[in-house]
């Protein structure tokens, strides 16, 4: 017998909301750890709409946005196949002064190739390097995979040679 997990997600979302409401009703104000755990749970459960609402609530409650929570949201949008919203959240994050990291770019670089947005991937790599961030093995693997899938072997070889010189 195959199980339908959609019902489980709705139940878990309701439970999370109930716990949050109960905490507030009892005078226990959620802290950043509580909010972050809920945010992560919503994103993992595919409840990106609820995660987005919670992120907005966190901001109104004075919780500072940090790179981990932003990466959680960006990854949540990516996993829900909403690349445009992932990029929108990324731009919003940077406009609020949250500094991106290699993990941020790895999430974003992985998406465009799968969506045939090679030019976007090149732009992200350029932005990443302009910020002083060095592509790690994950970034490099995503980029090489994308270039090879698009039959751009010469460009892939150029990157390999450049990285070898730098390492």
Residue 54: closest CA among 67, 43, 66, 68: 43
What size, in residues, is the chain? 167
Percent composition of the chain: helix, strand, coil (DSSP 3-state, to 5): 75, 0, 25
94 and 153 housed in the same domain? no
Sign of CA dihedral 64, 66, 69, 73: positive
Residues 6 and 62 in one domain: yes
User: Domain check: are 33 and 78 in the same one?
Assistant: yes
Last residue of a domain, one of 39, 72, 99: 99
Give me the number of domains the chain comprises: 2
- The answer on 54 and 13 residing in a single domain is yes
Band (pLDDT 50/70/90 cuts) for residue 4 is very low
Is there a single domain that holds both residue 91 and residue 105? no
Shared domain check, 104 and 46: no
- Mark whether 14 and 91 lie in a shared domain: yes
One domain for residues 16 and 58: yes
Instruction: State both tokens at 123.
Output: 């732009």
Query: Which runs of E-coded beta strand occur in 43-150?
Result: none
Same domain, 13 and 85: yes
Q: Are residues 12 and 92 in the same domain?
A: yes
Question: CA dist 90 to 12, 70, 76, Å?
Answer: 27, 8, 12
Domain that holds residue 109: 100-167
pLDDT over 80 at 90, yes or no: yes
Residue 33 pLDDT level (bands cut at 50, 70, 90): confident
| Residue where a domain terminates, one of 67, 99, 131 | 99
pLDDT in tens, 101-144: 999 999 998 876 666 677 888 888 899 999 999 999 999 998 89
Instruction: Assess contact for 155 and 147: CB atoms under 8 A.
Output: yes
Are 2 and 79 part of one and the same domain? Answer: yes
State residue 115's pLDDT score.
60
Digit-coded pLDDT (tens) for 35-84? 888 898 889 888 899 899 998 888 888 888 899 999 999 999 998 888 88
pTM above 0.85, yes or no: no
Whether residues 71 and 119 fall in one domain: no
């Amino acid at each position: 017998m195959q199980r339908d997990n959609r019902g489980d997600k709705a139940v878990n979302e309701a439970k999370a909301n109930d716990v949050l409401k109960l905490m507030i009703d009892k005078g226990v104000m959620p802290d950043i750890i509580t909010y972050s755990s809920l945010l992560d749970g919503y994103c993992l459960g595919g409840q990106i709409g609820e995660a987005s609402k919670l992120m907005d609530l966190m901001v109104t409650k004075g919780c500072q946005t940090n790179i981990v929570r932003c990466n959680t949201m960006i990854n949540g949008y990516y996993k829900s196949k909403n690349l445009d919203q992932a990029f929108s959240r990324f731009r919003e994050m940077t406009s609020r002064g949250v500094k991106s990291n290699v993990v941020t770019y790895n999430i974003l670089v992985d998406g465009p190739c799968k969506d045939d947005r090679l030019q976007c991937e090149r732009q992200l790599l350029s932005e990443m390097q302009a910020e002083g961030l060095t592509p790690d093995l994950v970034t490099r693997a995503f980029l090489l995979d994308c270039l090879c899938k698009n039959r751009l072997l010469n460009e892939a070889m150029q990157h390999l040679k450049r990285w070898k010189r730098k390492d």
